[in-house]
Amino acid sequence: MTTELVLHHVETATPLDPLHFVTRDEILIALDFGAVDGRLSRLLTKRFGGEVAFTAAKTDHPVSAALKAYLSGDLSAPDHIAVDGGGTAFQKKAWAALRTIPPGETWTYGQLAAKLGSPNAARAVGLANALNPINLFVPCHRLIGSNGALTGYGGGIERKRWLIAHEREAVGSPE
């Protein structure tokens, strides 16, 4: 007999479109913009298989409060939320390193690879970044191309641009 996995789902409004997040036992496991049946659903199905059921989470969930605080300028609010994106050992290491990039700053994929002790792994960092199921709270928007260009972001380049500008404004950084 298999046990059905129950995940809690919340949709909340943001200046960037609706944002959906999914928790399991108070731990944030997925977060994405747009429709829940898009990228978010694919990532969860890949991770947990076909036995995933969603229930509505309480609207006063700590993730909701952290998101509201972040959007109001408290950029450290997401740091206090426990996250578990699953992933391989390398992905977990890359995602943990993303959380160390200070708000308002951007690093290149190569810089993050070097921090991980693998200076030639910029492409592997890019792939891990692309598979990050908890964007915003695991701030993959803070990675840019080696030439300074805004490259790939699951939430879309315009959202990435907005998030970087929001953080720079909040920390008082012109660039």
User: Quick one: pLDDT at residue 150?
Assistant: 86
Residue range 96-143, pLDDT digits in tens: 999 999 999 999 999 999 999 999 999 999 999 988 999 889 999 999
- Rounded to two decimals, what is the model's pTM? 0.87
pLDDT at 2 over 80: no
pLDDT at 1 over 50: no
Q: Which ranges in the chain are annotated with CATH 3.30.160.70?
A: 5-80
19 is catalytic: no
Q: What is the DSSP letter of 34?
A: S
CB distance 68 to 62 below 8 Å = no
Q: Which pLDDT band, with edges at 50, 70 and 90, does 77 fall under?
A: very high
User: Quick one: pLDDT at residue 175?
Assistant: 64
Residues 148-157 have a mean pLDDT of: 80
CATH architecture of 5-80: 2-Layer Sandwich (3.30)
The one catalytic residue among 19, 101, 140, 164? 140
Domain 89-171: which CATH number of 1.10.10.10, 1.50.10.10, 3.40.50.880, 3.40.30.10? 1.10.10.10
Give the ranges where the chain is alpha helix by DSSP (H).
Answer: 39-48, 62-71, 89-98, 109-115, 122-130, 157-171
Q: How far is CA 4 from CA 11, 28, 125, in A?
A: 22, 18, 33
